[in-house]
Chains A and B, each alone.
Chain A
Amino acid sequence: MAEAFQFELVSPERLLLSAKVTDVIVPGSEGEFGVGAGHSPFLSTMRPGVVKALSEDGSKHEYFVRGGFADVSASGMTVLAEQAIPMADLDAGYIAQQIQDASEDVADAKDEDARQAARLVLSQLQELQAAVKAS
């Protein structure tokens, strides 16, 4: 069995998960990546997506995160999410709502840069919606 390491998922409101895990998959802004024990120090921003963590006892934790960043250091891994919701509490309606908000952002964007950024978020959310539907 793979070696375990300390993993923490925090949102501004609270600490959601603090556990010994063997594997974590994070939706990095430049592609999904997996982290195992002994990973080299690494810092990445995240796009909206699902963080999956496999804990030592074999149970699986899945959280939907909306942006934030992941910090891997020698002492463990920390995911700082701007918003995090356990997958069990997540339903299609919530994502639909997020998508609607994002499309409004696109419409309201003042300049080209902001519109570009809002569009990116929107497309990521749509991708996620497709993924949730498929599962």
Chain B
Amino acid sequence: MASLKDLKNRIASVKATQKITKAMKMVAAAKLRRAQDAAEAGRPYAERMGTVLGNLAAGFEGRDDAPKLMTGTGRDQTHLLLVCTAERGLCGGFNSSIARLAREHADKLLSEGKTVKIVTVGKKGHDALKRGYGQYIVENIELRGLKSVEFSDTKHIGDLVMEMFQDEKYDVCTLFYAQFQSVISQVPTAKQLIPAQFEAKDEAQDGSSEDALYEYEPGEQEILETLLPRNVAIQIYSAILENGASEQGARMAAMDSATRNAGEMIDKLTTTYNRQRQAQITTELIEIIAGAEAL
């Protein structure tokens, strides 16, 4: 049985931990709002980009002169996995669920005899994949210490991906991140970046007459060629924004349950402490009474 002093110390230490988790939850909640705003503000751009590219790409369907970024290299041998995670831990299953998805994907590709290359964005993803998949990691990018991620901060990631594609270091690129749905639900997602995939437009039939009249300046081809690399950068940027919101959401949920857990623990410890104190008092009383009677 732990002594009274030990119990007191335990209670104090759990209380201190609870204070920390509570503070972290508050901070995450404040950051979440900002990250969520950023993710939502970034959506119109990515969406418009998708629509415009979808329109353009439809015209190139099946043509030989379509850019490689759209059609791929014609091979399916080397896969690049771009794994975006957080820079910091203590956010529940956020990092590990993304890493798990990437790992499953990599295992599947490896069992099919494909070559896998991994680029990690964020320290935690690198840590999680280092063991077991260390030999596949070609690059680790850290976005440490950035208060809010701007497009220019992530541009170099897009540049790197593009450069590797031009040097034919891989054939297919897949992006891993957590799609933000709500504070309690973040969905780890895999998205194919290269060759680019566009959602089929629902108004393709009736909209085609309008698209046909589109004028392009400079040419259709040139626009597509400038837009596709930019699209890659945008996709990465929006994935990182989504990730940012997801991370804070996951952290908030994790810290909330940690705070609650600490509260329960304190209650339990306090009960034990009180019982023991009472037991001690009773023993002392009995001793005094017994002593008095003996006289």
Contact = CB atoms under 8 A, between A and B. Distances in A.
B65 interface: no
Interface in A1-58: 8, 10-15, 28-30, 40-45
Contacts of B214: 41-43
Contact of B41 (A15, A43, A69, A80): A15
Contact of A29 (B45, B210, B218): B218
Interface stretch (A70-78, A89-97, A125-133): A70-78
Given A12-B151, A41-B214, A69 B223 contact: yes
Contacts of B227: 69
Given A12-B234, A43-B223, A74-B210, A30 B151 contact: no
B150 A71 contact: no
B100 to A, nearest CB: 29
B232 to A, nearest CB: 13
What size tier do the contact residues of chain A reach? 20 to 34
Given A45-B223, A73-B210, A11 B217 contact: no
Contacts of A28: 217
Contacts of B151: 11-13, 82-83
A28 B237 CA distance: 25
A30 B41 contact: no
B52 A43 contact: yes
A71 B54 CA distance: 13
A40 B213 CA distance: 8
Interface in B191-234: 210-211, 213-218, 222-223, 226-227, 230, 234
B234 A30 contact: no
Contacts of B38: 13-14
A78 B217 contact: no
Contacts of A40: 213, 215
A41 B44 contact: no
28 contacts: A10-B44, A10-B48, A11-B45, A12-B42, A12-B238, A13-B38, A13-B41, A14-B38, A14-B42, A15-B44, A15-B45, A29-B217, A30-B218, A41-B211, A41-B213, A42-B215, A43-B56, A43-B214, A43-B217, A43-B223, A44-B217, A44-B223, A45-B222, A69-B52, A69-B223, A73-B210, A80-B52, A82-B230
Given A12-B234, A15-B44, A69-B52, 19 more contacts: A11-B151, A13-B42, A14-B38, A14-B42, A29-B217, A30-B217, A40-B215, A41-B214, A41-B215, A42-B215, A42-B217, A43-B217, A43-B223, A44-B223, A69-B223, A71-B52, A80-B48, A80-B52, A82-B151
